């Protein structure tokens, strides 16, 4: 998943248009984008949209962001949407791996009730929206077979910390948020799941978005969330490997296939070793490239 676009579940118009956005995944939002009074209608809208979208020949991954485990709202969310078989649930305000296990139990019950494959609905936690959640990042490794990715949230974290802003005058993140971002990347890789960068809120700042995407890709993130359809194309472009990068990855894999006992090889005048092979294999696997 390169691009994951948030869409409010209480807007039929935005839901319908989201299928034309080009996003790899849609995050149908029942949490922050929907007021308390609108949540019942939003749940019904999310259910109907999931039912219809699943029948499309080519469709994005369908993710639903439910309300937090301690909100008192999550069971109603799951009761409404699980009969429509979403591909994944995004869990906000996740504190640690135990929250993923708690949600997994809730999903397993509803999969059984709706004759869905056991374990088929995946989980993507938002892992840094509270101060305490930073200390639980190491617990996601091995927490559940349902884990498909890990992302972080800068806006809720700023509110939790009582910060005036989470960014510096040059547009970059202040130190607490740089730490949260880096820790999320480490935690995702330790759990062998996809690290997904958070949103870039200023959807009119195309240059800023492209710079943040480039930095995320450089550091190891494989995708980024979006808050507006106009951000999708830039995100997709940033996280799509170039033909040259794919060619180089194939050469590395081929070189080690021809020399299975080698630890270090010379490829086009540069030394490559096993970490280069792992990176190449991961890149090809992520893009589905032979």
Tell me which of 205, 220, 238 is where a domain ends.
Answer: 238
213 in the same domain as 80: yes
| CATH number reported for the structural domain that contains residue 175 in this entry | 3.20.20.60
23 in the same domain as 162: yes
100 in the same domain as 56: yes
269 in the same domain as 161: no
66 in the same domain as 196: yes
* 185-212 tens-digit pLDDT: 999 999 999 999 999 999 999 999 999 9
pLDDT at 91: 98
195 in the same domain as 64: yes
262 in the same domain as 232: no
Given its phi and psi angles, is residue 93 left (phi above 0), alpha (psi -120 to 50 degrees) or beta? Answer: left
- The dihedrals phi and psi of 81, each to the nearest 5 degrees, come to -95, -25
234 in the same domain as 189: yes
Instruction: Check: CB of residue 241 under 8 Å from CB of residue 8.
Output: no
CA 227 to chain centre: 13
* 108-154 tens-digit pLDDT: 999 999 999 999 999 999 999 999 999 999 999 999 999 999 999 99
Domain that holds residue 204: 3-238
255 in the same domain as 159: no
* Side-chain half-sphere exposure of 136, counting CA atoms within 13 A: 21
216 in the same domain as 259: no
Q: Which of the residues in the chain have pLDDT under 50? A: none
pTM over 0.75: yes
pLDDT at 122: 98
220 in the same domain as 142: yes
256 in the same domain as 194: no
pLDDT at 290: 67
- Count the domains in the chain: 2
- The dihedrals phi and psi of 89, each to the nearest 5 degrees, come to -115, 130
Q: Give SS3 for 130.
A: coil
pLDDT at 169: 93
Q: How deeply is 260 buried, as exposed, middle or buried, from its count of CB atoms within 10 A (0-12, 13-18, 19+)?
A: exposed
Give the Cα-Cα-Cα angle 283, 286, 288 (nearest 5 degrees).
105
Closest CA to 137 of 178, 182, 172: 182
């Amino acid at each position: 998943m390169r691009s994951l676009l948030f869409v409010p579940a209480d807007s039929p118009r935005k839901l319908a248009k989201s299928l034309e956005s080009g996003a790899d995944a849609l995050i149908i939002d029942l949490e922050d984008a929907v007021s308390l009074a609108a949540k019942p209608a939003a749940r019904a809208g999310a259910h109907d949209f999931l039912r219809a979208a699943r029948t499309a020949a080519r469709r994005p991954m369908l993710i639903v962001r439910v309300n937090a485990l301690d909100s008192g709202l999550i069971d109603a969310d799951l009761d409404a949407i699980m009969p429509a078989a979403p591909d994944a649930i995004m869990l906000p305000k996740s504190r640690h791996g135990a929250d993923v296990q708690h949600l997994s139990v809730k999903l397993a019950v509803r999969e059984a009730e709706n004759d869905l494959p056991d374990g088929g609905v995946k989980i993507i936690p938002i892992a840094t929206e509270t101060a305490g959640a930073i200390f639980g990042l190491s617990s996601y490794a091995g927490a559940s077979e349902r884990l498909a990715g890990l992302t972080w949230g800068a806006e809720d974290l700023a509110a939790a910390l009582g910060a005036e802003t989470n960014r510096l005058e040059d547009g970059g993140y202040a130190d607490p948020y740089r730490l949260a971002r880096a820790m999320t990347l480490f935690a995702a890789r330790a759990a062998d799941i996809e690290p997904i960068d958070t949103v870039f809120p200023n959807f009119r700042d195309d240059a800023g978005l492209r710079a943040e995407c480039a930095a995320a890709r450089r550091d190891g993130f494989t995708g980024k969330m979006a808050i507006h359809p106009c951000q999708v194309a830039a995100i997709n472009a940033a996280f799509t490997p170039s033909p040259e990068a794919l060619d180089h990855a194939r050469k590395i894999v081929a070189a080690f296939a021809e020399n299975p006992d080698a630890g270090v090889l010379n490829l086009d005048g540069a030394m490559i070793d096993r970490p280069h092979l792992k990176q190449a294999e991961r890149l090809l696997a992520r893009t589905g490239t032979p």
